[in-house]
Structure 1
Amino acid sequence: RDKANFQVLEGLLTTLLNEKITIKNLLESESNQEEEFDKYNRVDMLAENSKGNLILIEVQNNNEYAYFQRMLFGTSKLVTEYINRGEGYDKVRKIYSINIVYFTLGHGKDIVYHGKTEFRGIHTNDILELSPFQKQTFKVDEVS
């Protein structure tokens, strides 16, 4: 949580994402509970890349069996916090969730994993592509 250590993490993230990353905020852990029965979204840091995408960074020391669901929850909560009521869904910002965990998350041989949503046809196994209009409007080349 020392700002002097941000450069180390920024260097790691820049290497992982292959673009310059700057940490914007050190967020208070488990502080964004809006209602009594709302789940906490434990976020340690929030960064932003040059494209305006948000990067949610969490370091987790304690074992959590439902950690994949926790990642989904944290990312979803951030999506809703960064769009205003009445704004169109085209204003939803892309969010990267980077989780540094100090426990076995699953079974695998590598130490760094990258996951993304992919839309694949159930009959033809093809990957869904954007229309030319969508590519131009959203300035992206793929759905993920």
Structure 2
Amino acid sequence: MGSYIRFDWAMKRLLRDKANFKVLEGLLTTLLNEKITIKNLLESESNQEEEYDKYNRVDLLAENSKGNLILIEVQNNNEYAYFQRMLFGTSKLVTEYINRGEGYDKVRKIYSINIVYFTLGHGKDIVYHGKTVFKGIHLNDILELSPFQRQTFKVDEVSQLYPEYYILKVNDFNKVAKTPLEEWIYYLNTGEIPEGAKAPGLEEVKEKLKIDSMNKAEKEAYYRHLDN
């Protein structure tokens, strides 16, 4: 049992508060390897809590300062069709966040961050990154953007226009955390923060997500959630 509040509970109750955005920004900055600033959280059809999902999953939709959409999802129970569900989630956002009659240049960039507490697929790593690349069948070259497209869309590669997926298989992590991303995964897995952790956001976890700082009713609800 960790000293800090589990991330899925924090996402439900605490990280939706602007004062705590630094925690989410720290995770995203560490994972995406660029400074992420959250402008606000959005309500989406796909992130409304359904009754049967109450303990199993939680998700949160953020918009960063560049106008990108970032869907963070925590899934506790085994779901064999989870890959398709990730696709469904991003597809829904693509269509939800464009107004009728707007040009395709207004399609938003989406990051889908999936923190899974079950064994998803078959692989040796703990973090996987998926993006869309168009490869020549005969010459094996990568299809690039034209200079005009680069300038207009302010990106360098075609893949940057498409949804990108990150999967963090946190249960599979069982070694000493050496990198900032491993420090985060250690916390996601154990509810503890490794000694001397330097990853952005973890300092804020220490300050704001202490189990001891919850009142009695909150603690009871939290432990009920853990039991479930």
- 3-state SS of 2:93 partner: helix
Structure 2 CA distance for aligned equivalents of residues 98 and 116 of structure 1? 12
**Can you list the C-alpha shifts for 1:104-125, whole angstroms capped at 9, x where unaligned?**
1122221111111111111111
TM-align CA RMSD: 4.1
Deviation at residue 20 of structure 1 after TM alignment: 2.9
Choose the corresponding residue for 1:24, options 39, 60, 76: 39
Choose the corresponding residue for 2:139, options 124, 136, 139: 124
Unmatched segments (≥5 aa) in structure 1:
none
Assess, with a 3 A threshold, how the Cα gap between structure 1 residues 97 and 34 changes in structure 2: closer, same or farther: closer
* Larger of the two Rg values belongs to structure: 2
Deviation at residue 2 of structure 1 after TM alignment: 7.2
Q: Normalising to structure 1: TM-score of the pair?
A: 0.81
Q: Normalising to structure 2: TM-score of the pair?
A: 0.53
Judge conservation of contact 1:46–1:55 (CA < 8 Å) in 2.
yes
Deviation at residue 17 of structure 1 after TM alignment: 1.1
Judge conservation of contact 2:64–2:70 (CA < 8 Å) in 1.
yes
Deviation at residue 49 of structure 1 after TM alignment: 2.4
Deviation at residue 37 of structure 1 after TM alignment: 16
Assess, with a 3 A threshold, how the Cα gap between structure 1 residues 24 and 40 changes in structure 2: closer, same or farther: farther
Deviation at residue 137 of structure 1 after TM alignment: 1.7
Structure 1 CA distance for aligned equivalents of residues 35 and 18 of structure 2? 17
Deviates more, 1:110-119 or 1:13-22: 13-22
Structure 2 CA distance for aligned equivalents of residues 129 and 66 of structure 1? 32
Judge conservation of contact 1:31–1:42 (CA < 8 Å) in 2.
no
Unmatched segments (≥5 aa) in structure 2:
1-15, 160-228
Assess, with a 3 A threshold, how the Cα gap between structure 1 residues 89 and 7 changes in structure 2: closer, same or farther: same
Deviation at residue 16 of structure 1 after TM alignment: 0.8
Judge conservation of contact 1:75–1:97 (CA < 8 Å) in 2.
yes
Assess, with a 3 A threshold, how the Cα gap between structure 1 residues 23 and 45 changes in structure 2: closer, same or farther: farther
Structure 1 CA distance for aligned equivalents of residues 67 and 143 of structure 2? 25
Assess, with a 3 A threshold, how the Cα gap between structure 1 residues 79 and 71 changes in structure 2: closer, same or farther: same
Structure 2 CA distance for aligned equivalents of residues 29 and 42 of structure 1? 15
**Can you list the C-alpha shifts for 1:49-87, whole angstroms capped at 9, x where unaligned?**
232111111111111111111001000101111100000
Q: Number of residues paired by the alignment?
A: 144
**Greater RCO, 1 or 2 (C-alpha within 8 Å, sep 6+):** 2
Report sequence identity in percent.
95
**Can you list the C-alpha shifts for 1:7-40, whole angstroms capped at 9, x where unaligned?**
3332111111122334556667976689999999
Structure 1 CA distance for aligned equivalents of residues 97 and 55 of structure 2? 17
